[in-house]
Every structure is written in C-alpha cells, then in structure tokens.
Structure 1
Amino acid sequence: MQNRVPLTGMIQIAVVVEDIERALDHWCELLGVDRPEVRVSSAEPNPDETYRGEVAAYSLKLAVIECPERGFVLEVQEPDQNPSTFREFLKAHGPGVHHIGFAVGDARDAVVSELETMGYEMRTVGFYPGGSWTIVDGEDRLGVNLNIKPHV
C-alpha cells in the first residue's frame, strides 16, 4: 500500500452497545474514570453524512472517555434502530469494537481512494466543520472497521 495508515495515527477505539448507560457504568468502574457526558444526535436526515451511499438518518448516543496520556479516546456508542453502520454492526455481531480511528493528515483522500481500489467498501462518510470521517468496512479482512480522519 502506497498510502499506509500509520499506527502512530491511532486516535480512537469505538465500541457499540445496546445500552450506553449500563456500558458506561462498567467502563467507568473498570478504568476508574469519571462518567463522561452522553450526547445524543438527531435522527433527522443529515445531508453531510451518507450510509452505504444514501443520506444518513439515525440517532446515536455517544460518550467519549478521554485518554490524553496515550493520545486517543474510547467512544461508547448506542445507535437507534434506524439503518447505520453502528446498527448494522450490532445486528451482525452484537456489542463490540466497531472501529479503530486513525488520523492520516493530508493523505486522507489518497488513503480512502487506495482502500477503495483494494476492495474495501466505504460504509459511512461524514463531514463537519473543519473535518470529516470515513468508516471503511474492514470486518471480514481486519476483524474491525476503520475510521479514516484527516485530523484529530
């Protein structure tokens, strides 16, 4: 691969669950950390995000446990029942690690393009002010999906 995903760019581990409150109880006890805020996104169609090529419309409960000493975050995510990469994963596998996130800087487009030519499917692409995220379907080959981001 010409445009490699750098291990030093690992910024995120994302776990999907059916009950975020219960999962956070366990994670916070295990890690000895304060309970993070749970944010809830709207299920309204989002023209800045696609899921399998269609405009995404799902809600997600999300909590972020920071690990600044290591330079990454642990995200705990509970999707609603609407179609999304997160609900797809839960249906197929149950709770577990949905993706590992990597910041690849200005190589983001080249990395995503090369992964596509290698046969990896782009599951979700989202844009927000100042950034983007792309969930690459790596379940069969890697055992986990990838989140390719330009920056943290």
Structure 2
Amino acid sequence: MSHPVALRGLIQVAIVVEDIDKALDHWCELFAIERPQVRAMGLPNDDETYRGQPAHYGMRLAVIEVPGQQVVIELTEPDHHPSTFREFLDKHGEGVHHLGFAVEGRDAVVRDLAQHGHALRVEAFYPGGSWTVVDLEDVLGVNLNIKPA
C-alpha cells in the first residue's frame, strides 16, 4: 500500500457485546476499575452512512480509558437495526469488531484500502472529526476504524 496504516496510531479496541451491563461487570472486575458511564446513542445521523446508505440505528456505548496510554477499550451494545455492529454480532457473536487507528492522511489511507478491495462499512462525520470503518474481516478477522490524526 502506498499509504499504510501506522501501527503507532492504535487508539482503540472496540468490542461488540450483547449486554453491556454484564460485560462491564466482568471488565471492571478484571481491571479493578470504577464502572465507566454507559451512553445511549441514537440515530439517524445525517452525517453517517452504513454500507453506503443513511444510517438508522442506536447503541449503548462505554469507554474504558487505559491510564497512561493513548488507547481505549470501547464496548458497544447495538440495537436491532442494521449497523456494522449488529452485522458483526449476528455473524460472529461477541468479539472485537474493530481496531481504531489515528492516521495522517486519512482520506488517502481509506482510498488505498478501497483500491485493495476493502469496502467501507461506515463513514461518519461529527463536529471536529470523523470515523470510517473499513471491512477487513475476511483478511484480518477484524475491521479497522480509520480516524484522522
């Protein structure tokens, strides 16, 4: 690839779960940490697509901060509407949905991945940023979330 993903840019391990409260119980016990806030996030969001179509789904989300590191563990419990998270959960069950990377030249990296046959699952824009989930499950066993550095 002419625009590779920089490994030093790892910022996120995103795990899809059936029951976020149950999952958080286990994660918090494992790490002996306080329970992070669970946020309910709903859509539609005019600035997000799922497989090229407007996104219409919701989810419950919790972020576990890793002290002294730039990486977070993100837990997502999707609702029943079509989404990249629901697709993964229905196909694989609970597990790592994506690894998130902050990269220089986000658009060039995403374009490179597309030229290598890796479809966009999600493209979303929000004030001050964006996130793009690229489908690499078949070759890596996990998707990539490409965010601008």
Which TM-score bucket, shorter chain as reference?
A: over 0.9
**Stretches (4+) displaced over 3 A:** none
Counterpart of 1:48? Answer: 47
Q: What TM-score comes out, normalization by structure 1 length?
A: 0.96
Q: What TM-score comes out, normalization by structure 2 length?
A: 0.98
How far apart are 1:68 and its partner, in Å? 3.5
Is 1:85 equivalent to 2:62 in the alignment?
no
After superposition, the C-alpha distances for 1:66-110 in whole angstroms (9 at most, x for unaligned) are: 0132210000000000000000000000000000000003x1000
How far apart are 1:19 and its partner, in Å? 0.2
**1 CA distance for matches of 2:33 and 2:124?**
29
After superposition, the C-alpha distances for 1:103-145 in whole angstroms (9 at most, x for unaligned) are: 003x100000000000001000010001000000010001100
Counterpart of 1:21? Answer: 21
User: What does 1:46-85 align with in structure 2 at a 5 Å threshold?
Assistant: 46-85=45-84
**1 CA distance for matches of 2:67 and 2:107?**
27
How far apart are 1:46 and its partner, in Å? 1.2
Counterpart of 1:128? Answer: 126
Secondary structure (helix, strand or coil) at the match of 2:73 reads strand
**2 CA distance for matches of 1:71 and 1:32?**
20
How far apart are 1:12 and its partner, in Å? 0.1
Counterpart of 2:30? Answer: 30
**1 CA distance for matches of 2:134 and 2:32?**
32
Counterpart of 1:104? Answer: 103
Identity fraction in percent: 62
Count of residues paired in the alignment:
149
| Structure 2, gaps ≥5 residues long | none
| Structure 1, gaps ≥5 residues long | none
**2 CA distance for matches of 1:76 and 1:13?**
9
